[in-house]
Amino acid sequence: AQSVTQLGSHVSVSEGALVLLRCNYSSSVPPYLFWYVQYPNQGLQLLLKYTTGATLVKGINGFEAEFKKSETSFHLTKPSAHMSDAAEYFCATNYGGSQGNLIFGKGTKLSVKP
Amino acid sequence: DAGITQSPRHKVTETGTPVTLRCHQTENHRYMYWYRQDPGHGLRLIHYSYGVKDTDKGEVSDGYSVSRSKTEDFLLTLESATSSQTSVYFCAISGFQGRDEQFFGPGTRLTVL
């Protein structure tokens, strides 16, 4: 079965530090991969997505993610955390076509300390 | 922002009562989805629709039904609400199933007492 694993339900970083949120997927075929962000009491907003082509994907708010097929990973990074980055982040995947419903990881809550 | 609204935004109801949540879109997207979000579970798909009158079950469909009589509206009904259905419900839309991202509504917080 398709699945997404996000390592760490909570991650805390200091303002200005590197943000690294981990996502691994299970797949025997190339997946489509997404990162969403959810601010408190809001819906989910797309940060970035990988479908095909360049494996390093740049998103909004300075975030980027790299698709590594050999490691079945799609980790999210940002070089320098800002207080406004505090939110919950979800990795999601699907496999395209008529069975392409999104499967979400359980989420990682990011805290940013001043 | 994608034009998606959900109503009501908050609802408190009692066990055994019927509840209907509405999702309305102005984007003319073909696909619409209902998810529930619970702590420690992420988002789980309840039902989805791939066109008017075309719906299918998701991962956690027991106790829920849906209807889509118009492209812009997707209704989620709890026929007889239970406390286990206390959750935050999100509607999402997409133009193409699979490769396209989904756009999410603001959510409905439902409490079943």
Listing DSSP states for B50-71 in one string gives: EETTEEEE-TT-TTEEEEEEET
- What is the model's pLDDT at position A114? 94
Instruction: Output the average pLDDT for chain B.
Output: 93
User: Is residue B72 over pLDDT 80?
Assistant: yes
Rounded mean pLDDT of A71-95?
Answer: 93
The per-residue pLDDT for A113 is 96
Å from B98 to nearest chain A CA? 4
Q: Looking at CA atoms only, how far is residue B21 from chain A in angstroms?
A: 16
User: Mean pLDDT score of chain A, rounded to an integer?
Assistant: 90
CB atoms B104 and A98 under 8 Å: no
A-facing residues of B in 2-31 (CB < 8 A) are none
Residue A100: what pLDDT?
60
pLDDT at residue A3 is higher than 70: yes
Q: How many CA atoms lie within 13 A of A39 on its CB side?
A: 8
A 71-110 → B contacts, CB under 8 A: 90, 94-102, 104-107
Average pLDDT over residues A16-21: 98
Please determine, for residue A103, whether its predicted confidence score (pLDDT) is greater than 60: yes
φ/ψ bin of B69: left (φ > 0), alpha (ψ from -120 to 50), beta (otherwise): alpha
Quick check: B2 pLDDT over 80? Answer: no
Q: What is the pLDDT of residue A39?
A: 94
Q: Is the pLDDT of residue B97 over 80?
A: no
How many angstroms separate the CA of residue A33 from the nearest CA in chain B?
Answer: 9
- Of residues A32, A101, A106, nearest to B42 (C-beta): A106
Residues in chain A closer than 8 A to B99 (CB atoms): 32, 51, 96, 100
Q: What order of strands is seen across the sheet that includes strand A19-26?
A: A3-7, A19-26, A73-78, A64-68, A56-58
What is the arithmetic mean of pLDDT over A3-15?
94
* Minimal C-alpha gap between B40 and chain A (Å): 6
Residues 6+ apart with CB under 8 A from A72: A24, A25, A26, A27
pLDDT for the residue numbered B111: 97
Q: What is the mean pLDDT of residues B54-71?
A: 94
What would the pLDDT profile of A29-55 be if each residue is shown by its tens digit?
667 899 999 998 889 999 999 988 888
pLDDT at A51: 84
Q: How confident is the model at residue B96 (pLDDT cuts 50, 70, 90)?
A: confident
Nearest residue on chain A to B48, alpha-carbon basis: A101
